[in-house]
Structures are given as C-alpha cells and as structure tokens.
Amino acid sequence: MKGTISYTSDVLLIEGGKRLRGSVRVSGSKNASLPILFATLLTKEPCTIYNVPDLLDTKTAFELLEHLGASTFYRASEAEVDPSGVHVYEAPHEVVRRMRASVLVMGPLLARFGRAVVSMPGGCSIGVRSIDQHLKVFERAGASISLKHGYVDMSIRRIRPVEYTFEVITVTGTENALMFLSGCEGRSILRNIALEPEVMDLVEVLKKMGAHIEIEDRTAIIRGSKDLKGFVHEVIPDRIEAGTLAVAGFITGGDVVLEGLRVEHMGSVLEKLRDAGAVVDVLDLSRIRVRSSNSIRPLSIATAEYPGFPTDMQAQFMTACCLAEGVSEITENIFENRFQHVAELQRMGADIHVRGRTAFVRGVERLYGAEVYSTDLRASASLVLAGLVAEGQTLVRDIFHLDRGYERLEEKLKKLGALIERAPLKKS
C-alpha cells in the first residue's frame, strides 16, 4: 500500500467567547465524494471529479483506488482517476478498518470482475453498523458469498436482474446496490432506498456513465450496462459541514454568511436552527446568513432518514441545547450508540441525562473549557462547538476523527474570528 496515512495526533486549542462574524465557503461533500470516487471502478475510462474535499477519508479512498490498480491525481479539490489499470478485487482490512465506507468498492468490483473480497468493516464507536442489506442485494443477483477470516468473499457467474426491498433504509447499502446494478446488463428494481442528497449525487454520476435510473418515492428502476463511460462531475457541497458552521455562528452570538452550499439540502437543519431562535436568511440558492437572537430555545429533535433531521447533525445541535433556556429532548433513531459526546460535554459543565435512545439536555448558564477527547467524527465537531462558547480554554484531543470529515475546520472558524489553533501533540 502506497504510504499508509498515519493518523495525526494533533490537538485543537480553543479560547471560548468570541462571536463569529464574516463569510466562509463550504467544502465539497465527504459522503458524496466517497461513493463517486468508487464509481470510477465501473469504467475503464478516465474520470474527473471537482469539489472533492481534502480529508483523511478522501485520502484513504485514493489509497484504496491505487491499491486496486487505478492511478489517481488530486490537487486543489480536483480529482483525476484513471481506472483502466484496475486488476485487483480485494480491499484489505488495514484500509477498511480505517474507513468503513471502503465497503462501497464491493458493488463496483463485483460488477466489473464478478469477484470481490472485502474485509468486514467491523463495528465502530457509533454502532454495530452491519452490512447485511448490502449483501442481500448481491445474493439476490446470484452472488455466492462466504464470510471467512474476517473477509466477505463474493463471486458471481450469471447475474440475475434484482428486485429487492431494503429492510432498513441504508445510505451506503443503497449506493452499493445502485453502483452494482448500474454495472450489470438488465433491469432491476430497488425499493425502500435512501434518498440522501449524496445518494442522488451518485445517481447523477451513474447516469452520466450510461446507466438508466428512474427514482419515484423510495423506488429505483435501474437499467445497467457492462460498458459504462468515464465522467466529469462536480460533487455537491457538504450539508453537514454547512450545518456545523451554521450552529457555530448561532451559538456564539455571531453573524455569519455561508457560501457555496445547497439550501435545498438543508431544510430540516435550517428549520431546527430557527426553532432554536436563530435568524436564518436565505440569500440565494447557495448562500445563507445565520445570526443569533438573544437566547437559545430548547428543542425536541428526533433523527431520521433524509429528508428528516440528519443523525450527522445530532451531536452539533446537542451542544446548542446545552445552553438553551429549558430542557431539550434529543432522540437518536439511526444509530444505537451515538451519544459518546455526552460524557465529554458533561465534563464541560453540561447537564445531560441519557435514557435509552433519548438524551434530556437541561440548559445551563455556561460551559467551562476543559481537556476533552474526540470519539467519532461528529462528536468531535460538537466538542469544538462547545469550546467556542465555553468559558476559558478547551483542548480537543484525537482530532484525527475531525480530520476524517472536515476540511481544515479550524481555518474556516479562524476566518470567522474564532480563537482556535491546531497544535502538534507534544511527545511526553
């Protein structure tokens, strides 16, 4: 494997209390970039992808593509992938362990080679996150699948058209199935699919490659082809990064303009910001202005599949609720263990009680800076937000979690006036 990425063990130092002001541009979507980068495996022709964020996860995706035999080039948010040399159909544990979205190579490799050997992703800190739905689609198409030595070993001789109803709405399960079926001859139907904007961005790419995909409600009809073409595509903006920055502007009592986003993708998040008392002006289809009013109102939040309130914004809004005037209820319906940020927020003075899937957050006067640990991508974002409003200094450790999904977040926040520095961890 070319130059395996070593996780940085940097920390972020944040001095709380500054109101954020100014404008900042949102980066491209991590969760759209990853499936689209792996869709290149479905063709032998070169592909160009714009607005790809510079993240640990996208770096891992390039590494995996190179491991499979593709050649990649990345500079200033533009990615070039030449998949003509792809000849390997195995995704090793070392990579999948680092980024579970590596399972998205299953569909393309199985369609291209009739073979895929991919390490089981294993659980992660936010939940078991099984991939049974991904595998059921491949089985329905005629694949024989064996799970041995921690790997999913799939082979398929004659591909049958698929008609499958997902038992769970799954984002990457839908993406894996759409890529696989787009790379096979025949007409298939998927029901109960995920409709996240990132899934729809992948659909746009698959259509550019030559697949015919019609989507109505949560049903997709796919007519695939063994002769998919290269493509040029600009990835949609990251609605979760945009939501995170919006919460930062709101809870610091600031006035921020976010540019380069897609307002149409942020309905439920903007609604919750307004419920909490934020003044949100839609300046045009790609710009919003977020100002705080003089208080934060308590919220009732229940995460749901798109277009519901996104689970990836739950931790960030919990930080806002910590300072609300009253008790908020936050129910996490997508993952069974996505409250790891609670313990760290409590160390900063938050008053939170978790019962089952619901966190009850009683607003407090203020949070206090502390040394806190990131546990997963969005939890680390919630701790950074807490540091921005806490009294005193906050030190956020293990920010490689943050670097997986946010492109230089501290630089964006600094541009808005935050007192935040990245420091290399002093070797003790």
List the catalytic residues. 124
List 172, 314, 328, 374, residue binding ligand EPZ (CB under 6 A): 172
Q: Are the C-beta atoms of 85 and 72 separated by less than 8 Å?
A: no
Task: Give the nearest distance from C-beta 361 to ligand EPZ in angstroms.
Answer: 20
Task: State yes or no: residue 128 binds ligand EPZ (CB under 6 A).
Answer: yes
Rounded to the nearest 10 degrees, the angle between the axes of helix 56-68 and helix 30-39 is 10
Binding mask 405-424 for ligand EPZ (x = CB under 6 A): x-------------------
**# residues near ligand EPZ by CB under 6 A:** 26
Q: Which residues contact 315 (CB under 8 A, 6 or more apart)?
A: 338, 341, 378, 379, 381, 382
Closer to ligand EPZ by CB, 318 or 377: give it: 377
Rule CB under 6 A: which of 198-217 touch ligand EPZ? 198
The C-alpha atoms of residue 33 and residue 132 are separated, in whole angstroms, by 23
The C-alpha atoms of residue 306 and residue 224 are separated, in whole angstroms, by 26
List 138, 151, 180, 335, residue binding ligand EPZ (CB under 6 A): 335
Task: Give the nearest distance from C-beta 167 to ligand EPZ in angstroms.
Answer: 8
By C-alpha distance, which of 279, 42, 316, 306 is closest to 182? 42
The C-alpha atoms of residue 204 and residue 213 are separated, in whole angstroms, by 9
Task: State yes or no: residue 134 binds ligand EPZ (CB under 6 A).
Answer: yes
Structure tokens at 163: 């008609």
Structure tokens at 361: 């957050």
Residue written as tokens 């595998």? 135
Residue written as tokens 């009732």? 300
Reported as type and span, the H/E element at residue 105 is none
Task: State yes or no: residue 328 binds ligand EPZ (CB under 6 A).
Answer: no
DSSP line for 13-35: EEE--PPPEEEEE--B-HHHHHH
List 168, 232, 283, 423, residue binding ligand EPZ (CB under 6 A): 168
Stretch of 105-113, 165-173, 275-283, 385-393 lying at the interface with ligand EPZ (CB under 6 A): 165-173
Stretch of 170-178, 243-251, 323-331, 342-350 lying at the interface with ligand EPZ (CB under 6 A): 170-178
The C-alpha atoms of residue 238 and residue 241 are separated, in whole angstroms, by 5
Task: State yes or no: residue 184 binds ligand EPZ (CB under 6 A).
Answer: no
Task: State yes or no: residue 173 binds ligand EPZ (CB under 6 A).
Answer: yes
Under DSSP, is residue 138 helix (H, G, I), strand (E, B) or coil? helix
Closer to ligand EPZ by CB, 138 or 335: give it: 335
Q: Is 383 left (phi over 0), alpha (psi -120 to 50) or beta?
A: alpha
Task: State yes or no: residue 171 binds ligand EPZ (CB under 6 A).
Answer: yes
List 36, 47, 106, 131, residue binding ligand EPZ (CB under 6 A): 131
Could you give the angle at the alpha carbon of 422 between the alpha carbons of 421 and 426, nearest 5°?
Answer: 120
List 27, 29, 77, 170, residue binding ligand EPZ (CB under 6 A): 170
Task: State yes or no: residue 51 binds ligand EPZ (CB under 6 A).
Answer: no
Q: Which residues bind ligand EPZ (CB under 6 A)?
A: 30-31, 34, 101, 127-134, 168, 170-173, 194, 198, 311-312, 334-335, 377-378, 405
